A and B are shown apart, each in its own frame.
Chain A
């Protein structure tokens, strides 16, 4: 048997912890018998999310991927347009661009894994229509510089905020800085549903109205189809669960931040890059990603000792088989590629105790000291 037992995620603990409440919510929604479409629960959640993120509008959808797609769709992005985004995200960011018939143009990242504003500027062409920064790990990109660039070049900014609900940069909330903020409520996110879910936040009322139409077949009422839509509704059950969990989000974030701070204090070693917390940032640590040489060895070492870790993400998007048509090769984005070999995500979830953090950090240091 392994020495420790520290899981990477602990959805089961969350389920046990909240079981009574979740069951009550489930029963209430089921008895109301209103499962999709305009539900009070859904409208209430949208108002609260908008308020939390500091925008005038929030539109609840079926997933974070759909949030990106619909935001770009109402942003007028389509065939022939270029969208600048980093190559080290989850594939959904790039896939959403491809699905709209637009072309993803990658810009390499900074040591903290977020897109480099200088490299964005170099990637701008006459066909560039938008920038899609990804707030990876729950850290916001350098939004001041990105917005300045976007304004100067007349570009739309779609924040991929899937991992960053509640994060801030210079006092501004994730999803409220660009034209659109796209969030995921996937079970592994800090604000999580019991299934897929997502939101778009925006201050553009007309855009929000259009997204509400597009998520339900493009219909304005039962008999009138105003434009081609799709099906991307958040169902009433998930909305009710998210309404309940939104109250708990500040606590989830506080616990993750405390765990991250504890790691930062403990993991002082020249061979490891620990993600920083800068004064002008409020990071929510969807993931806690360190960078080390001999990463695979470290991961195996921790696994042997009962500590589960993950890699976000081992193969950069530009090197995936699906990206073949974009014509990239190894070496095109050297920082991302180098990070892909060195990144390791340590468990940081809200069900970990400070003692658990000490165990993980201790084993990491033991490994590095060898």
Chain B
């Protein structure tokens, strides 16, 4: 195979992480500007028609009765827990290796996060959950990290046995599924992020909660809008966590592209899986034939990870690590009293995992260049 070299992208990389500047070609920008031109004179800026439309399309896409637009994926989790009545003294069981927002949402409700170590697919190890349940446990909060899926059928059996509600953190897992059942539809509600770097994004912070429970949806709609039932009646103390109408206009425009985005990421990941599997120093996470993994992040385990990361960057590949310092060891969490070694799988992964770009705006040569560069590093 001939050696590939690639031109530099505007940000100085040959294989860039962020694809946002490429969501628009010249004709695309005209399309969205036209939508913007139509939207602004409506003056419909707060929970307006575009939000209702986007919620309906989102619910239809995931297959739930309701979708509720909120200000961020973090708020989607926070409000879901609040709607369950999680508060001071309660415990919520979640994954030790998640992004900070999951635990922040628990802490903001004055509850305590109780961590469970993860498996090799980055999601919490369901076999360890029962050992962590106490009389203070109020909810289970599995995280479908990186577009992988928690073993939800097994987790739901545990939840039912103990009568515990489940809130799914599906922020990184839009359209992921197990045996055709989508992420976000197993628990009482599923929380999605629409942050600019997500598979379905808007152009600001944004989030969505999906649920089939009519009463739960009503409470969530009140909580995101100051606890208001109508303009003059406050039925509970809520907050301001609305999805902007303007961002719903963007969402309505991009939602039609989600299947393409998902399929392309899966195809790119499949290619990388096949090629990287030939390199003995690289190990792939476990893949499951009955799960649809949507590869919000494409992560593998690598020997001499830090050196590989530096080498890739030098060669123009914008690789990253998600996340280099496990959450339970962060300064912000010292109050919970966890110590190094409490979650050995999480620790091991933090030292060996590396994320490569696999997004829908990459071309074949860029993917091949990733494989070539990793091979070059290990001399294979």
Contacts and interface: CB of A to CB of B under 8 A. Distances in A.
Chains A and B come from one and the same complex: yes
Interface of A: 9-12, 14-16, 18-19, 22-23, 26-27, 29-36, 62-66, 69, 90-92, 94-95, 98-99, 101, 186-187, 194-196, 217-219, 223-233, 235-238, 311, 313-315, 317, 320-323
A65 B32 CA distance: 30
B324 A223 contact: yes
Contact of A313 (B18, B20, B232): B232
A332 to B, nearest CB: 17
Contact of A36 (B29, B40, B196): B196
Given A194-B246, A235-B205, A11 B75 contact: no
Contacts of A315: 232-234
B101 A231 contact: yes
B256 to A, nearest CB: 18
Contact of A233 (B205, B244, B323): B205
Contact of A196 (B37, B71, B236, B330): B71
Contacts of A65: 226, 239-240
B45 A30 contact: no
B36 A320 contact: no
Interface string B60-72: 0000000000011
A31 B45 contact: no
Nearest to A63: B240
B311 to A, nearest CB: 20
A16 B33 CA distance: 15
Contacts of A313: 232
B195 interface: yes
User: Looking at chain B, what size class is its interface with the partner chain?
Assistant: 35 or more
Given A65-B226, A225-B100, A228-B108, A235 B29 contact: no
A321 B74 CA distance: 27
Interface in B14-59: 18, 20-21, 23-24, 29, 32-33, 36-37, 40-43, 45-46
Q: Which of A32, A186, A232 has the most CB of B within 10 A?
A: A232
Nearest to B324: A223
A317 B228 CA distance: 12
Given A15-B41, A35-B203, A228-B104, 19 more contacts: A26-B36, A29-B203, A62-B205, A65-B226, A91-B226, A91-B227, A92-B240, A95-B237, A186-B46, A187-B46, A194-B45, A196-B240, A225-B332, A229-B332, A230-B74, A235-B203, A236-B204, A237-B203, A322-B235
Nearest to A9: B43
Given A223-B323, A322-B236, A229 B104 contact: yes
A59 to B, nearest CB: 16
B172 interface: no
14 contacts: A9-B43, A15-B43, A19-B37, A27-B29, A36-B205, A65-B240, A66-B239, A95-B226, A95-B234, A95-B239, A99-B239, A217-B101, A235-B204, A320-B233
A311 B205 CA distance: 32
B331 interface: yes
Nearest to B18: A33
Contacts of A227: 331-332
Nearest to B207: A231
Contact of B227 (A19, A233, A235, A322): A322
A36 B205 CA distance: 7
Q: Which of A26, A32, A34, A101 has the most CB of B within 10 A?
A: A26
Nearest to B245: A195
A231 B74 contact: yes
B235 A30 contact: no
A95 B227 contact: yes
A223 B100 CA distance: 10
B253 to A, nearest CB: 11
Interface string B186-210: 0000000001100000011100000
A27 B323 CA distance: 33
A320 B228 CA distance: 10
B332 A101 contact: no
A143 B74 CA distance: 37
A23 B239 CA distance: 30
A19 B41 contact: yes
B204 A238 contact: yes
B21 A23 contact: no
B80 interface: no
A219 B99 CA distance: 11
Nearest to B202: A35
Nearest to A314: B232
